[in-house]
Structure 1
Amino acid sequence: MTGMSRRTFLGLSTAVAAGAAATALAGCGSSTAAKGEAASGKVKLPSYVPNTSIKPDLPPNAKGLSAGYLSYPKELIQSVSKAPGDGSKVTLLTEIWTQPPLPKGSNEHWQKVNKALGVDLSAILGTDPGYDEKFSATVAGGDLPDLMWIPPNQGIQHVAQLLESKCADITDLVSGDAVKDYPNLAAMTPAHWKTAVVNGKIWGAPSPYPAFGQVYGGNPEVWEKAGGLSAGSPDEFLAKCKEVTGGKVWALEPIYVNAVSVMSQCFGAPNKWRQNKDGSLTFWQETDEYLAALDFVLKLKKAGVFYPGDPKMADAYLKMAQGSIGAAVFANPSGARANLRTNDPSLAAEILIPFAAGGRQPNHHYHLGTIGYTAIKKGSEERVRMLLGVLDYLAAPFGTKERELLEFGTEGVDFTYDKQGFPQRTDRGKQQVEGFYSGLATATTAPFALLPSTFAGSHGPQDVKDIYAVEQKLTETAITNPTVGHYSDAYTEHYGRMSTEATDLVNDIVSGRRKTGEWKSFWTEWRSQGLDRMAREFQKSIEKNA
């Protein structure tokens, strides 16, 4: 994803951290595939079949470790043997994270992609913010697009009912070895596919995203005097924060809810929900571990190590690059390194690995691994298969001719190769390719890979090695969210307000306006307002379909 905003980051990580996840994705319903007992049975996820024609320098694995490439391939492979389309018109509803491209009629690159896909693709391009309104307006129009990207965290309501009647259940077409008909989709891991499962059925092609979750990324020049950002205990972390704070420098950004989220990993909090021995579920923010993290963040606040700003500040990353903030929370490790390089190519962000706190083992929280999935409008099996072929083309990985066309366009016109051999868009490429690719990659794309071109400056290969090593460390303690792939009506109904109120209370407690003693009573009240119902509905779905 390119050009993702700070607001979007908060949506994908902080808000999702409170349980949005793929659990908010409501499934579509019946089709010519699984019905009756099959529809309510346990789903067999698609087989994981990595592309063996492309050899990364650093290998990925099914646990979420990203493939790493140190250079651009001298020869690209062909991953799709022929255009998947049948010449028909296809509409796509998706979201873009950068400036809109030139319209299809005046966009030569768009027309070239359509020729490669073998369809006349039109796209309805939503933006951030506003995608939920675009989605609702499109649905209200009655004529649904052939392909619809469904995000987990933008407040879209009643998706389950809508898709139950309007979308194709693709379980039989991709489950198990059936996915081998779509090799690029087959290269997605079980974790990717699980986010597209609801009620024991698979409803779309996932939109992959880095598997690892929130981390503190730090400016190494700020932390040098303290011996680096790494710490082995809360006391050591606090001491280091105090040491680097002074003058016009503060150790941490003032987005307190992010601080508690990352620190909760150190105190062993569950990843959004804890599945208890009896099968019941406990929400992560109502656990003793989360409360311990909140108490520790309050201790950090009293020590004066947070930048004295708005807990919703939008320029924390820039201030970190400028050296007035030592560390900020990022959606994932690669994002931290890439962002700091963009703001100052000479700086390589350090990543804080969760340390053990409170006598508990740390739990790094995996991200969902996707930012949603793209569902297919119900139709004949032939048309659904054709549209799956289109999505398979869009999921072409790094190192393929298809990916270069989609992401960069035509050499000499839309892009040129830089000194390191990586494509760089021309002005025309920025007008015609960038925004269009942003929308296509939102719909679906290949699993995330670490690339030197992600990181500004000449340090890309070393950055790839460094972040790959960080990911290896994080896999040692990383845990998943047990509710991914399960649905709760209560969640979609109540989560937005519950999350907002919880964030406000965190800010008030850390700022000293309210007491930590109010935290547990807040969750006691919410249990009767919808939290218990969320837990029961997720538990029922897990027992039935997991």
Structure 2
Amino acid sequence: MTGMSRRTFLSLSTAVAAGAAATSLTGCGSAAKKSGEAASAKVKLPSYVPFTKIKPDLPPNAKGLSAGFLSYPEELVRSVAKTPGDGSNITMLTEIWTQPPTPKDSNGYWKAVDKNLGVDLTAILGTDPGYEQKFSAVIAGGDLPDLLWIPPNQGIQHIAELLEAKCADITKYVSGDAVKTYPNLAAMSPAHWKTAVVNGKIWGAPVPYPAFGQVYAGNPKVWAKADGLQSSSTEEFLDKCKEVTGGKTWALEPIYVNAVNVLCQSFGAPNKWRQNKDGSLTWFQETDEYTEALAFVLKLKQAGVFYPGNPKMADAYIKMAQGAIGATVHANPYNARNEIRVQDPELAAEIMIPFAAGGNKPNHHYHLGTIGYTAIKKGDEKRVRMLLRVLDYLAAPFGSKEREFLEYGTEGEDFTYDKNGFPTRTKQGKQEVEGLYSGLQTATTSPFALIASSFPGDERAQDVKDVYAAEQKLIETAVRNPVVGHYSDAYTQHYGRMSTEATDLVNDIVSGRKKIGEWKPFWAEWKNKGLEQMAREFQKSIEKSA
């Protein structure tokens, strides 16, 4: 998925905006209210049936390696046999990551979407930031949309109650081989579907996202004097940062919590939670490995290698492309290359692979694998199946006619093909297609692939090869978050405040306003304020699914 703001994924959670204000859902009722501790009862996940009509140039694998396409297919295939809708009105609550589209009444693409889906679509488009407030307001209104995007972490509470009270349990429609009725949804892996499981039931269509997590990307022109960004130790990394810092250039962007998040991978910190031998769970920020990474970032700050200014500055990528900053943190390897190409099409950012630090083997942190899922409003089976067919259309894969239409609209009006055969939106396409497609893609989409046409500039095929190579290296040490697919009421209740306070303390420590000795006591206090309860609930859920 492209076009998301950096705030969305460069947070403590690697999911969506840590520190968003907690949202309390009202009007959900208490009927069928169940504890989230039952989240992972033994539900049979959908069968995995990859889409095989288009063969990628670079093959994916089960560990998360992305498929790679070096060129645009000469012939597109059909992935949906017939129009999915039944002509009825449907409403969708989703989020957009770009400018809003032209309103429906004057938007030809929107009307074409209606025709191709076979529905009359009303899209309620939330924004970043602000989706949690939009979500709460819509739910409080009492009239639930037919399709409802539920993000993994925007401070939204009581999701389990909402699902049980007002949403359709789609387990019987998609569990096991039943999902083959919806072939594009069947192309999603079990890892994707796990994120849509609550209380032992499947509640929606996942929204696949790159499997990999946060990385540093470096401006190769800045790092050339230090023989590149790659390092083999903390000592070498610090020396390189000092070497490239000088004049009007600083080695690193000053978003300190992201620096610790990336560098704690080198120290072997767990991916959000560590599952101990006795089955208990430890939050990654309370580990010695994270504390060591924090101490190292403090050392980097004291060495003067961070760009001076506000740690939340929004123009870091621009300054990196200009050479004022040497390296910036990105949500994943694809974004690391793509987002800098957007700033400078001639700049091929170097992707840093975690090095060993503190005597530990590095752990690259996989992303959650999705950015949530889209649930379906309760209704009769005919209605639910129709909405599943609509979601199946939205999940059309790269190389299909449906995907080209969804992403680019109508040839000649919304897009044209460039000299390399890649679709390029026209002015009308940018106004009418871009914003609505962003929302449709947030609702659900096909498994992520590295596609040459998604990169700016003239080195698109090389970008695919370089990112693919970086993913191959990251896989060697990549570890998953053990609680993905499990639910904790305490987590949804307390995480937003906990992460905000933790981020503030990281900033205070690195900036010198507080001492690093305050870090461990902070987590000792949080054990009694919700952290221990989160761990117990996740542990119980994991044990029930064993």
Task: Judge same fold: TM > 0.5, yes or no.
Answer: yes
Matches within 5 A, 1:340-489: 340-489=340-489
Cα separation, 1, equivalents of 2:104 and 2:17 = 37
Contact 2:18 2:500 in 1 (8 A): no
1:13-62 CA distance string (max 9 Å, x none): 55669899xxx99xx99999xxxxx9973112111111110111011122
Q: CA deviation at 1:140?
A: 1.1
Contact 1:29 1:169 in 2 (8 A): no
Could you tell me which runs of 5 or more consecutive residues in structure 1 were left unpaired when the two chains were aligned. 33-37
Cα separation, 1, equivalents of 2:40 and 2:356 = 41
Could you tell me which runs of 5 or more consecutive residues in structure 2 were left unpaired when the two chains were aligned. 33-37
Tell me the SS of whatever aligns to 2:365: coil
Aligned to 1:245: 245
Aligned to 1:35: none
| Residue 497 in structure 1 maps to residue 497 in structure 2 | yes
Letter in structure 1 aligned against 2:253: E
Cα separation, 1, equivalents of 2:445 and 2:31 = 25
Cα separation, 2, equivalents of 1:188 and 1:486 = 18
Aligned to 2:157: 157
Cα separation, 2, equivalents of 1:154 and 1:374 = 15
Aligned to 1:301: 301
Aligned to 1:330: 330
Aligned to 2:70: 70
CA 1:237–1:133 in 2, change beyond 3 Å: closer, same or farther?
same
Cα separation, 2, equivalents of 1:313 and 1:104 = 35
Aligned to 1:50: 50
1:148-202 CA distance string (max 9 Å, x none): 0001222222222111110111112111211111111111111111111122221
Q: CA deviation at 1:8?
A: 2.1
Q: CA deviation at 1:430?
A: 1.3
Letter in structure 1 aligned against 2:116: A
Aligned to 1:256: 256
Q: CA deviation at 1:252?
A: 0.6
CA 1:17–1:96 in 2, change beyond 3 Å: closer, same or farther?
closer
Tell me the SS of whatever aligns to 1:374: strand
Contact 1:11 1:153 in 2 (8 A): no
Q: CA deviation at 1:401?
A: 0.4
Cα separation, 2, equivalents of 1:472 and 1:16 = 26
Aligned to 2:182: 182
Contact 1:13 1:331 in 2 (8 A): no
Cα separation, 2, equivalents of 1:98 and 1:15 = 18
Aligned to 2:217: 217
Aligned to 1:108: 108
Letter in structure 1 aligned against 2:333: P
Tell me the SS of whatever aligns to 1:358: coil
Aligned to 1:205: 205
1:101-127 CA distance string (max 9 Å, x none): 122222221111111111111111111
Contact 1:210 1:448 in 2 (8 A): yes
CA 1:475–1:29 in 2, change beyond 3 Å: closer, same or farther?
farther
Q: CA deviation at 1:247?
A: 1.1
Cα separation, 2, equivalents of 1:151 and 1:520 = 30
Tell me the SS of whatever aligns to 1:438: helix
1:427-447 CA distance string (max 9 Å, x none): 111121111101000000011
1:253-275 CA distance string (max 9 Å, x none): 11110011111100000000001
Structure 1 residue ranges (4+ consecutive) displaced by more than 4 angstroms after TM superposition: 11-20, 28-32
Contact 1:31 1:167 in 2 (8 A): no
CA 1:480–1:31 in 2, change beyond 3 Å: closer, same or farther?
farther
Cα separation, 1, equivalents of 2:65 and 2:40 = 32
Using the aligned pairs only, state the percent identity. Answer: 79
RMSD: 2.1
Deviates more, 1:281-290 or 1:52-61: 52-61
Aligned to 1:196: 196
Q: CA deviation at 1:11?
A: 4.5
Task: Give TM-score scaled by structure 2 length.
Answer: 0.95
Cα separation, 2, equivalents of 1:15 and 1:41 = 24
